[in-house]
Amino acid sequence: MGHHHKISADQPDPSSSTATTSQSSGSAPITVDIHTHTYPPSYISLLTSRTKVPYIHQPSDGDPRLIILPSDDDPSKPPHLRGRPVDKSYSSWDEKLKFMRTHGISLSVVSLANPWLDFLPSETAADTARQINDDLNAACESQNAKGDKHAQLYAFASLPLSAPTEQIVAEIRRLESLSCVKGIILGTTGLGAGLDDPFLAEIWTALEDTQTMIFLHPHYGLPDAAFGGPEVIARSGHVLPLALGFPLETTIAVARMFLAGVFDRHSRLRMLLAHSGGTLPFLAGRIQSCVEHEREFVANGGDKQGPTRTVWDVLGTNIWLDAVIYGKAGLKAAVEAAGAVGQGIEGSERLMFGTDHPFFPPLKEKDGRWASVDSNLAAIAGVAGAEEEVARKILGGNALRVLGIEI
């Protein structure tokens, strides 16, 4: 991940209030998309070679279908109607660059879509991860070599989590040699038992040592029973799992890390949370209050360890948030929660614009701007108000600074 790019992201940007950098007032803001997915050809091949979830089914009489969730694999439907069509936007760099041009995005940090490489057999996982990460890095290098500063690509790599620990750690260290890799994307199950699993300690340490940004992203949702069962869910299509299941999954995963003391033992972790943290910014106060009132924690006279740092401290030190929240109300909470501790860093320096492309496309007119993107831009404009510098940071300045990217 290019050592020459490495700067401390725990310090405020010294240039943020001056006019000495490319991000200075006066010039148009640079827009960076840090939440945008791709299925590179080697990943498409991998999914097509499989016959169980996750997989791509190629029917003889139609377009290929992507089936990534058990609930997509509805046995009452013939395979050519399960899941969703694999649109060319899923793997085409031209489509990604066209989408970027349409929305004035100069730089995208792409990541594999869920479920990444969580499902690989242990023996081949590390090889497969290397191949896919190399492919992704090569595609970005090739694009960047064209020299168009308004069409740059970088990537979050994927880890072979089913491989032996030393192979996972080796891949984390190897990623430092890939010039366009700026972090990793990670699901909420870790090695299978969640992110509070003690067996993750070596991996957290490697991620701390390399100061790798961990983009935490949901995939598994909540059990159907949380919504009242599959029949209740089906009444409103994908809304309940997508609108609520995803963010609640992220919230629970980070809360479990926090409560288990992962951020106490690994205080230099750097995590970027998808969807503005799920609901963490909103619930941070309640989580902290419950911790301070939990009789079973040692601090309150009990026999369980409990976290020693506060959730506000973790939010202000270890966590960054994307701005994929589709509304000013959520973004206000995210900025406020991110800056509650202060430490000289404004909350708005921890938020980063994203789109979730190729998901949430317009359902009718395909070629114009996407309403999902515009609602995120409107939220940023609404929160920034007259403070142009705040919008500039959230739109791209923070991503460039925190990920160590020079345009």
Omega cis (within 30) before 307: no
22-33 burial, b for 16+ CB within 10 Å, e for fewer?
ebeeeeebbbbb
Q: Which of 44, 69, 191, 371 binds its own copies (CB under 8 A)?
A: 371
Q: Between residue 332 and residue 361, which ones bind its own copies under the rule CB under 8 A?
A: 332-334, 336-337, 340, 360-361
Q: Is 88 in the site for its own copies (CB under 8 A)?
A: no
d(CA 158, CA 155): 10
Neighbours of 81 (CB within 10 A): 12
- Look up tokens 């979050």; give the residue: 156
Q: Which is nearer to its own copies, 134 or 336 (CB)?
A: 336
Give least dist CB 293 to its own copies, A. Answer: 5
Subset of 224-263 contacting its own copies (CB under 8 A): 225-228, 232, 235-240, 242-244, 247-248, 251-252, 255-256, 259-260
Q: Which amino acid is at 9?
A: A
- Among residues 129, 112, 142, the alpha carbon closest in space to that of 36 is found at 112
H-run or E-run covering 185? strand 181-186
Q: How far is CA 91 from the centre of its chain?
A: 18
Looking at 12, 64, 79, 194, which residue binds its own copies (CB under 8 A)? 194
Angle between helices 246-259 and 280-292 (to 10 degrees): 30
CB of 334 to its own copies, least distance (A): 8
Indicate the residue among 73 and 171 with the shorter CB distance to its own copies.
73
**Cα dihedral sign for 246, 252, 254, 256?**
negative
Which residues in 375-404 contact its own copies (CB under 8 A)?
Answer: 375, 379
At its nearest, how many Å lie between its own copies and the CB of residue 19?
Answer: 29
Helix (H, G, I), strand (E, B) or coil at 182: strand
Q: Which of 48, 288, 308, 310 binds its own copies (CB under 8 A)?
A: 288
User: Shortest gap between Cβ of 154 and its own copies (angstroms)?
Assistant: 26
For residue 289, the minimal CB distance to its own copies (Å) is 4
Of 138 and 329, the one with the shorter C-beta distance to its own copies is 329
CA distance 385 to 118: 41
Sole residue written with tokens 């460039």: 400
Tell me if 366 contacts its own copies by CB under 8 A. Answer: no
* Separation of alpha carbons 327 and 371, rounded Å: 12
Between 187 and 404, name the residue whose CB sits nearer to its own copies: 187
Whichever of 147 and 237 has its CB closer to its own copies, that residue is 237
Of 295-334, binders to its own copies (CB under 8 A) are 295-297, 300-302, 304, 306, 325-330, 332-334
Give the other-Cβ count within 10 Å of 115's Cβ: 18
Residue 5-44 contact track with its own copies, rule CB under 8 A, x = bound: ----------------------------------------
